[in-house]
Amino acid sequence: MSDLDIEGMRAMTPGCANRNHLNNAGAALLSTVTIAAMTDYLQREALIGGYEAEAEAADQIGATYESLAELIGALPTQIALFDNSTHAWNAACYSVPLGSGDRILTGRNEYGSAVLAYLQLAQRTGAEVVVVPDDDSGQIDVAALADLVDERTRMIGLTWVPTAGGLVNPAAEVGRLARAADVLYLLDATQVVGQFPIDVSAIGCDMLTGTGRKFLRGPRGTGFLYVGPRALDRLDPFVAEIRSATWAGGRSFTWVDGARRFETWEKSYVDVVGLGAAVRQAIDVGLDRVGRRSAALGARLRAGLAQIDGVTVHDLGREKCAIRHRTGGRCGHRRRRSYFAYTQHLDPNAVTLSRRICSLATSAIVRRRLARFIAASGGLARLWCGTLGKSPLGPGSRRAKVRKRPAGAVRPWRCTASDRARRAGPGVLSLCSGYACHYCPFWT
């Protein structure tokens, strides 16, 4: 199933010795290479001081920008580093000049923070956020998007691979539309970086965001933004500070060159060198190979689940990936039990494939069938089950409510996963794709 040295990579991942860690797409296990880069750097900080260690490691820090650029087919000057993907995305989105009557076009499967940011931007600027419908497969409807793009459109914002649902949105098709219409295109690639190859020129995005801790296996608290040539001078960086701008005397200032005009001055350089080490390792392993394995593991789990009588797989999209869902989940449907199946941590780079499975409490037979499949899967999947209140997310999961329309929402919100589960009826187990949670509103 793989042309990767799985055992070798496991040996270089200390966490693999103790557990099948099934949450890579949440936050993956670090490799020994990354751990060594970080601990060595931390030692130098402790011994010679933070600024001195930074100066000493200037090449290593520069290499992080270079590796990230190589990973996505960009230039190092087009990369800005952040403490997570959300802040990178905010830096891009809040820098798009918007006014009353302008429009942002976006998809249904956007990350929760993006949805909130869109709502705030709409309130602040009077711009309208238009949610493009999905096509029959569940991916963004490219034809509908083409119809919606007009002279009011300032930006298209899309999540390439959403947090849940297995979906790979047609990022390059959207890129071609954005180019043709000369509209800025912001692509959230948080769940893509490290999962399969990226080439920003081929996709045609102007801004792309990624995180370190998921499929890239970098440290937590790292993220990055790519800003392409078409976007740089059209964006109005949302904050000026001593990293992003230079005082030009009197009452004027100038932005620094390239994407670093979006950065903030202070950083955890331990994390920066750790991120650099992880990215270099991913490039060396080969994103083509990782991508093939990730997709194959995903397909294997889906196929196995689909064979179980009473299990319905509701994955979305024409193209599907190795996406999983986080350990646990939140669902507004309290009476329903929740199930989570995960692929085993077969290789460190590929896949935590897990899909959320919701069932009604009466589906004991199907539960047993599913448990038999999991047991027979040779470690492909594991099952956690319990009631929502006992979800691995802890008591916080109780906070989830069936979605109400938030104040100021431009369109009503809808709990598609719950709808599906309800339609499925008692005794039937639904493997839900979109679901109603704080992170992934699956909005309309």
Ligand X SMILES: Cc1ncc(COP(=O)(O)O)c(C=O)c1O
Interface with ligand X by CB under 6 A: which residues?
Answer: 84-86, 111, 159, 162-163, 188, 190-191, 211, 223
Tell me the angle at which helices 269-285 and 287-306 cross, rounded to the nearest 10 degrees.
Answer: 80
- Of 162 and 219, the one with the shorter C-beta distance to ligand X is 162
Q: DSSP 3-state assignment of 370?
A: helix
Give Cβ neighbours of residue 29 (< 8 Å, ≥ 6 apart): 13, 14, 15, 16, 21, 217, 345, 348
- Of 162 and 276, the one with the shorter C-beta distance to ligand X is 162
Nearest residue to 213 (alpha-carbon basis) of 343, 352, 116: 352
- Of 4 and 131, the one with the shorter C-beta distance to ligand X is 131
Compute the least distance from the CB of residue 163 to ligand X, in Å. Answer: 4
- Of 57 and 353, the one with the shorter C-beta distance to ligand X is 353
- Of 214 and 367, the one with the shorter C-beta distance to ligand X is 214
Cβ atoms within 10 Å of 179's Cβ, excluding its own: 14
Nearest residue to 419 (alpha-carbon basis) of 433, 406, 399: 433
Contact 407, 126 (CB under 8 A): no
Nearest residue to 10 (alpha-carbon basis) of 1, 19, 280: 19
- Of 117 and 227, the one with the shorter C-beta distance to ligand X is 117
- Of 159 and 268, the one with the shorter C-beta distance to ligand X is 159
- Of 313 and 437, the one with the shorter C-beta distance to ligand X is 437
Element (H, E) at 421: helix 416-424
Contact 343, 6 (CB under 8 A): no
- Of 88 and 177, the one with the shorter C-beta distance to ligand X is 88
What are the b/e assignments for 76-115, b being 16+ CB within 10 Å?
bebbbbbbbbbebbbbbbbbbebeeebbbbbbbbbbbbbb
Contact 326, 26 (CB under 8 A): yes
- Of 162 and 237, the one with the shorter C-beta distance to ligand X is 162
Q: Which ranges constitute the DSSP H helices of 251-394?
A: 269-285, 287-306, 364-376
CA distance 106 to 216: 26
CA distance 19 to 416: 34
Encoded amino acid at 226, one letter: Y
CA 314 to chain centre: 20
Compute the least distance from the CB of residue 228 to ligand X, in Å. Answer: 19
Element (H, E) at 41: helix 32-48
